[in-house]
Amino acid sequence: MIQRYNSLSDYMKKTYGKKMVKLSLDGGFSCPNRDGTLSSSGCVFCSEEGSGDFSGLIVNGEKCKNIDLAMQVESQKKLLSSKWNDCGYIGYFQSYTNTYKPLEDLENLYGEALNCEGVEGLVIATRPDCVNDKHIELFKRFNVLWVEIGLQTIHDDRAGWLNRHYDMIAFEKTFQLLKNAGIPVVVHLIAGLPNETKMDFLKSIDYITAIKPFGIKLHMLHIVKNTPLAKIYSERPFELLDEEEYIEWICEAISKLHPKIVIHRLTGDGKKEDVLAPSWIFNKRHVLNHINKRLNTMEIMQGDQVKTMVVD
């Protein structure tokens, strides 16, 4: 079967010659959007675990509060051992804002993670307003393979309700800082925001193609318990994309993404017991199979709609 998009799995195998598995770590971080610096409620969609519901030390299927990174690494390896063996490992600092501590603390945490057995590099998830030149130096010293930044949408005029507390100017400044330093960036986008049309979402995709980051993660908007979004949804329910619509949006997005951009995720979810809607996101294999089926049926390749290819 033809590989119709540039997947992370394929990129890793080509680059490292083997499967590389991310171990989701919790470094005990907070966020300026939660500790009162900018806000106390966080982004409207962010879970109580800082969108790191499956990170850290997992015992009997439950997350335990413990920032001993060696224990977390072994716990994550055990959790994933049934899926993969004979693979390499990447330490993925996922929960909350993983540059939001004093530099000395970051040095200790990044160093501790990188020294864990089998860990070959790090991935750092953060906010665009929490990265500066000092962080760039750390990223280079501690073999940070890429940095993940949640953009979600390019439409500032309609994004205020997300409570991000940063705008496109902040994103672009940090993206350029990382790019100039040679640090790969993975950008997160959300499909199905209540005040955005399919065309709005695809404009965000066009922007991603224009700036050409290392990678992209695509998510369906889902409603998580005990978040500001859950309160909004309960008081004034809005229509969410159904599975068929999401698949259609994503396949067209793939056709509009520059072929060199690595697609890290085509769908995502949260803890089943915490997600209020939509329920179809939990059947990830089914969604991915139908994305691939539509791509094949319609003979869509990543980059088909990119009018001007940049070869570099």
Supply the CATH number for residue 283's domain.
3.20.20.70
Residue 161, pLDDT above cutoff 60:
yes
Residue 310, pLDDT above cutoff 80:
no
pLDDT band at 52 (very low <50, low <70, confident <90, very high): very low
Within a domain: 1 = no
Q: What is the pLDDT of residue 145?
A: 98
309 exposure class (CB count in 10 Å sphere: 0-12, 13-18, 19+): exposed
Within a domain: 192 = yes
**What span, in angstroms and rounded, lies between the C-alpha atoms of 97 and 42?**
11
Residue 209, pLDDT above cutoff 70:
yes
**How large is the average pLDDT for residues 30-57?**
79
Cα angle, residue 158 at apex, residues 156 and 164 outer, rounded to 5°: 60
**What span, in angstroms and rounded, lies between the C-alpha atoms of 29 and 57?**
15
**What span, in angstroms and rounded, lies between the C-alpha atoms of 162 and 79?**
33
**How large is the average pLDDT for residues 159-184?**
96
Q: What is the pLDDT of residue 85?
A: 73
Q: What is the pLDDT of residue 274?
A: 87
pLDDT band at 61 (very low <50, low <70, confident <90, very high): low
Within a domain: 126 = yes
Count up the domains in the chain and report the number. 1
Cα angle, residue 132 at apex, residues 128 and 133 outer, rounded to 5°: 145
Within a domain: 173 = yes
Residue 31, pLDDT above cutoff 80:
yes
Cβ-proximal residues to 305 (8 Å cutoff; 6+ apart), any chain:
252, 255, 256
Within a domain: 250 = yes
Residue 175, pLDDT above cutoff 90:
yes
For 270-287, the pLDDT digits (tens) are: 778 889 999 999 999 999
**What span, in angstroms and rounded, lies between the C-alpha atoms of 120 and 88?**
7
Q: Name beta bridge partners: 299.
A: none
Within a domain: 305 = no
Q: What is the pLDDT of residue 48?
A: 73
Residue 117, pLDDT above cutoff 60:
yes
Lowest mean pLDDT among 9-13, 149-153, 175-179, 308-312: 308-312
Instruction: Compare 158 and 20 and report the one with higher pLDDT.
Output: 20
pLDDT band at 56 (very low <50, low <70, confident <90, very high): low
**How large is the average pLDDT for residues 125-150?**
97
When the pLDDT of each residue in the chain is averaged and rounded to a whole number, the result is 91
Lowest mean pLDDT among 62-66, 91-95, 163-167, 283-287: 62-66
Within a domain: 161 = yes
Range of the domain at 26: 8-297
Within a domain: 189 = yes
Q: What is the pLDDT of residue 58?
A: 55
